[in-house]
Amino acid sequence: TDSEKNAILDRITIGTKEIIKDADLIIEAAKKNANKKETFKELDSIVPANCMFASNTSSLSVPEMSNGMSRPVIGMHFFNPA
C-alpha cells in the first residue's frame, strides 16, 4: 500500500559520512575510479559493528574491497544490464 511504501522510504537516509554513526546498511555508489577500499576502511571505523557494507559495482573485485576489513563487503548492482 502507499502507506507501507512511505513508511519504508521514511527509513532510508541519503547523505555523507557525518550521518552514519547509527547506520545498519551502507551502500557505496562512488565513481569507478574512486578508491572504494579506502572509503570502506574509513567508514569501518565510524559505523556500528552490526552495520553491513554493500558496493554498487559491476567490475571491481568485491572480495578485494573486503580485504583488511572487520566486516565483509557485499556486491549489489542496481542497473540492468550490469
Long-range contacts of the stretch 2-7 (C-beta < 8 A, 24+): none
Positions marked catalytic: 77
Q: What distances in angstroms separate CA 1 from CA 9, 15, 28, one per listed residue?
A: 12, 27, 29
Q: Supply the DSSP symbol for 59.
A: S
